[in-house]
Amino acid sequence: MEEEFIQHHISQQFNKELVELRNQVLSMGGLVEEQLKNAIIALSTHNYQLARQVYSDDYKVNALEVRIDEESTRILAIRQPTARDLRLVMAVIKTIPDLERIGDQAESIAQMALQIQGEAESKYFVAIRHLGEHVQYMLHNALDAFARIDVEMALRVMDEDRKVDQECDSISRQLITYMIAEPRTIPIVLNILWSARALERVAAHSRNICEYLIYFVKGKDVRHISSVEQVEEEGRKSGD
Amino acid sequence: MEEEFIQHHISQQFNKELVELRNQVLSMGGLVEEQLKNAIIALSTHNYQLARQVYSDDYKVNALEVRIDEESTRILAIRQPTARDLRLVMAVIKTIPDLERIGDQAESIAQMALQIQGEAESKYFVAIRHLGEHVQYMLHNALDAFARIDVEMALRVMDEDRKVDQECDSISRQLITYMIAEPRTIPIVLNILWSARALERVAAHSRNICEYLIYFVKGKDVRHISSVEQVEEEGRKSGD
């Protein structure tokens, strides 16, 4: 898919820089994906070593964020890109804070895993494990859409966000009934409730990444427009 | 303080564009400040009309976000800024998503206000009202630091973030004891707990805005460095 970036530049060096920029974003994406996966396993299997691993990977994510940011700024200053190249750099600049915050949410979940300390009954974790898988899949597809410049996939990820919200609401209601029934479990169940919220935030960040990708490809800002309207518009266009 | 932007440009038009860009960010900041103020009043006084007002102001914030984003991209393409001008545009591009998310948090708090529906005892709101004032003050100072290009003030705001986190932890512990003592209040108290978390997020976004400002002025990325280290470094420099 590199052709998408490189076919239209005379400067071979500039081509390399843009491909390298994209690859760095994908590396950062891979790191936060790993953090999220470890955090969810740590939560549902009480694996404290893995929870601590999520924390210790934080510096790698932060270092990559700063490096990508500096490289983007350098490209803007030196290459003075316009049109599609400029939109690519803008999309990268917007994507990396969302990736960094996904890493932060993974750390929150790892923190919850450490606080629960094996005291919780397994029934609390069934629903959140499923939510975790759903959100991981969404993040994976968002990064895949970015890697392949795949607008169709990005639109599908944006639609998943609503389902994750509904799933999270349903888990919250269930956990609240547990708390009312057994008040002594409140501190533990709250940690699971926070983790569900953190996963909901990861889904929202994944959605944002897809919006930036569509902006890059279409040159159009799709934030604050529902993805249904988006799909309808796509449909109208292909019917023209 | 406009001199900070305009003194070094030959093109009067470019000067105007940068000043206008800054003013738009401040307008957006003013809007989300108003949303946050209304959301906190709505929560602690059960003012549902005000809660709905927070929602209806959302489109203004979103419209400004898209406009500022487009204007920033246009300036990058047409003016091809470098050095300090480029850092200014980068700081603006990074600041506006944080402002937009502060607006989102205000909406979450307004939603909690609508869900509580006057059922809650006033004791639940004492601590959160104080936290709300603290966070509003922090956001106000972050915007003020941006308006005046005041690095000292930005560093002070960054230090407040830690205090807000501590205050939020203490409120959480207090609310959990209420829930354990009176399980029937769990759904209501949870709404207040979510609101406290939303305020904590607003404080974190205010901190981010200050970090971008310091990057603009100093040309240095201060994310992932504690503000204490920052102050120490400032101290060392002025002692040189």
At B78, is the pLDDT very low, low, confident or very high (cuts 50, 70, 90)? very high
Contact (Cβ atoms closer than 8 angstroms) between residue B213 and residue B146: yes
Q: Nearest CB to A224: which of B66, B82, B180?
A: B66
At A124, is the pLDDT very low, low, confident or very high (cuts 50, 70, 90)? confident
Average pLDDT over residues A107-134: 88
The sign one gets for the Cα dihedral B37, B42, B43, B48 is negative
Average pLDDT over residues A70-90: 93
Query: Could A93 and B97 be called an inter-chain contact, meaning their C-beta atoms sit closer than 8 Å?
Result: no
Contact (Cβ atoms closer than 8 angstroms) between residue A130 and residue A175: no
Short-list B52, B97, B223, B219, CA closest to A74 = B219
What are the angstrom distances between the C-alpha of B75 and each of A18, B15, B20, B25, B71?
21, 11, 12, 15, 6
- Residue owning tokens 């460095």: B225
Q: Residue B17: how many CA atoms within 13 Å on its side-chain side?
A: 21
Q: What is the pTM of this model?
A: 0.88
3-state SS, residue A123:
helix
B 9-68: CB under 8 A from A = 59, 62, 65-66
In total, chain B counts a number of residues equal to 240
Could you give the CA distance from residue A132 to residue A121 in angstroms, rounded to a whole number?
Answer: 18
More confident of the two residues B172 and B5: B172
Residue A228 has pLDDT above 60, yes or no: no
Phi first, then psi: give them for residue B183, nearest 5 degrees: -55, -30
B 63-82: CB under 8 A from A = 65-66, 69-70, 73, 76-77, 80, 82
Q: Which residue of B has its CA nearest to A85?
A: B77
* Other beta carbons within 10 Å of B81: 21
* Other beta carbons within 10 Å of B88: 22
| A94 and chain B in contact, CB less than 8 A | yes
For residue B4, what are its two tokens?
């900070």
Give the model confidence (pLDDT) of B188-239 as tens digits: 999 999 999 999 999 999 999 999 999 889 887 666 665 445 545 555 554 4
Give the model confidence (pLDDT) of B20-68 as tens digits: 999 999 999 999 999 999 999 999 888 999 999 999 999 999 999 999 9
Nearest 10 degrees: Cα torsion B174, B180, B184, B188: 30
- Residue owning tokens 């959140």: A128
pLDDT computed for residue B24 by the predictor: 97
| Interface predicted TM-score (ipTM) of this complex, two decimals | 0.86
For residue A192, what are its two tokens?
């699971």
| A224: chain B residues, CB-CB within 8 Å | 59, 62, 65-66
3-state SS, residue B81:
coil
- A184: which DSSP letter? G
| B73: chain A residues, CB-CB within 8 Å | 86-87, 90
pLDDT computed for residue A225 by the predictor: 60
Contact (Cβ atoms closer than 8 angstroms) between residue A109 and residue A39: yes
In chain B, what are the helix, strand and coil shares in percent, each to the nearest 5?
85, 0, 15
Q: Taking the mean position of all CA atoms in its chain, how far away is CA B16?
A: 26
A 170-229: CB under 8 A from B = 176, 179-180, 183-184, 186-187, 190, 193, 197, 221, 223-224
* Other beta carbons within 10 Å of A1: 10
- Indicate the residue type of B238: S
What are the angstrom distances between the C-alpha of A41 and each of A44, A108, A213, B142?
5, 13, 29, 38
